[in-house]
Amino acid sequence: MSCDFLALANPGVLALHPYQAGKPVEELERELGISNIIKLASNENPLGLAESAKKAIQNQLSQLTLYPDSNGFYLKQAIAERFSIQSEKITLGNGSNDLLELIARVFVHEHDEVIFSQYSFVVYPLVTQALNAKAVVVPARDWGNDLQAMLAAITDRTKMLFIANPNNPTGTFLEADELERFLSQVPENIIVVLDEAYTEYTPVERRSPSLAWVDRFPNLVVCRTFSKAYGLAGLRIGYAVSHPDMAGLFNRVRQPFNCNSLALAAAQAVLADEAYLAKSVALNREGMGLISAFCEKYGLAYIPSMGNFITVDFAKPAAPIYEQLLQKGVIVRPIGGYGMPNHLRISIGLPEENQRLLQALKEILAL
């Protein structure tokens, strides 16, 4: 006898579609029977694993029969020291996706309202929907978060606001003063999740003092990741910084061993590896300069980006361009699902990868 699982499922889950990840290199290799494929689709770090992380992973191999440290003591201590915060404010996650979901699960009830911007990270609607809460999507301003409109969207039922800075998939950036003004106007009983997955790519002098703000705005939680500038996307590790009482709640709900030993050790090592971080950021800046100069030269509109990706407007449906790039072994990210059918999001690669992308674009667009 078969069972109607659809009738049994949580209604919020029924309305969801699986997360569309960037196309894996191996999949395109199988489809096209070609090698030498480059992937500029998932905002990964093109530098490869830091030597410091590699060593830390090797040192952990003999320990893999044991469960990881459930509390991630050493990594938390390293993060606390690095940013001069209390360890009690830190929650570790299996990537920051894990934390975004955990935070929502702790606070959001059925029928609560969750506010986020048009063109914001796909996980925000996903977790909202899965909890049977109501997504309130605020129209973007210049492709980014319109903080005034988000404040205006707050109602008695608002429980949470998600803001990514820089924003994905558009790369837009909010300055510290506008964010601070916004935070001071959000009622204390509404949780603000500030997702800083790409913060390490932004100029230090323009970064918000977001971790210090947690003391002033106890309803703020800041999420960061080791997947981008620290180059550990495959290991899955991120952290949230919040009021210790909030962290205590997250600690009740998270899986006891949500971060594996290799990720904990590698993150601790790479956090101390300032040379790797500086190299990642410099490489990104150089590639960003190259691709934006190309767009300007050939009259392609793009959204100025503070992340490790650039979103280009082809002024016509971009799906055929995406397909033609695939044929040339270049994987980028179509973002029609975000309501941006004329754009492609391109992660910044190594210099030779960026050159190959630009050459492919020249040929496809007959530039």
Ligand X SMILES: Cc1ncc(COP(=O)(O)O)c(C=O)c1O
Which is nearer to ligand X, 217 or 338 (by Cβ)?
A: 338
* Interface ranges with ligand X (CB under 6 A): 43, 95-97, 121, 164, 168, 195, 197, 225, 227, 233, 238
The residue (of 150 and 361) whose beta carbon lies closer to ligand X is 150
Residue 337 DSSP code = G
Q: How far is the CB of 65 from ligand X (least distance, A)?
A: 26
Q: What is the CA radius of gyration of the chain?
A: 21
Tell me how far apart the alpha carbons of residues 57 and 152 are, in angstroms, rounded to a whole number.
48
Query: Is 97 or 158 the residue whose CB approaches ligand X more closely?
Result: 97
Least distance between ligand X and beta carbon 257 (Å)? 17
Sheet hosting strand 191-195, strand order edge to edge: 90-93, 238-241, 220-225, 191-195, 158-164, 113-117, 134-138
Question: What CA–CA distance (Å, rounded) separates 88 from 246?
Answer: 10
Token digits for 178?
């506008």
Distance CA 367, CA 158 (A): 49
- Nearest distance from C-beta of residue 168 to ligand X, angstroms: 3
- Alpha carbon distance 196, 166 (integer Å): 7
Smaller CB separation from ligand X, 232 or 361: 232
For the bound state, the minimum distance from the C-beta of residue 97 to ligand X, rounded and expressed in Å, comes to 3
| Secondary structure element (H or E) that encloses residue 335, with its range | strand 333-335
Which residue do the tokens 């301003």 mark?
141
Residue 223 Cβ, how far from ligand X at the closest point, in Å? 7
Smallest distance from ligand X to CB 128, Å: 15
Name residues whose C-beta falls within 8 Å of residue 286's C-beta, 6 or more positions apart in sequence: 351
Residue 228 CB, nearest approach to ligand X (Å) = 7
The smaller minimum CB distance to ligand X, of residues 227 and 311, is found at 227
Nearer to ligand X, 321 or 335 (CB): 335
Question: What six digits make up the tokens of 291?
Answer: 């691709």
Rounded Cα distance between 259 and 237, Å, is 7
Strands (DSSP E) along 171-265, which ranges? 191-195, 220-225, 238-241
**Residue 16: half-sphere exposure toward Cβ, Cα within 13 Å:** 21
Smaller CB distance to ligand X: residue 60 or 225? Answer: 225
* Gap between the Cα atoms of 201 and 285, Å rounded: 8
Nearer to ligand X, 60 or 168 (CB): 168
Residue of closest CB approach to ligand X: 95
Phi, psi of 138 (to 5 degrees): -95, 130
Beta carbon of residue 261, minimum distance to ligand X (angstroms, whole number): 18
For residue 43, the minimal CB distance to ligand X (Å) is 5
CB of 226 to ligand X, least distance (A): 7
Q: Is the CB of 94 or the CB of 361 nearer to ligand X? A: 94
Secondary structure of 80-144 in the HEC alphabet? HHHHCCCHHHEEEECCHHHHHHHHHHHHCCCCCEEEEECCCCCHHHHHHHHCCCEEEEECCECCE
- Cβ closest to ligand X, residue 68 vs residue 238: 238
What is the identity of the amino acid at 181?
R
Q: What's the one-letter identity of residue 319?
A: A
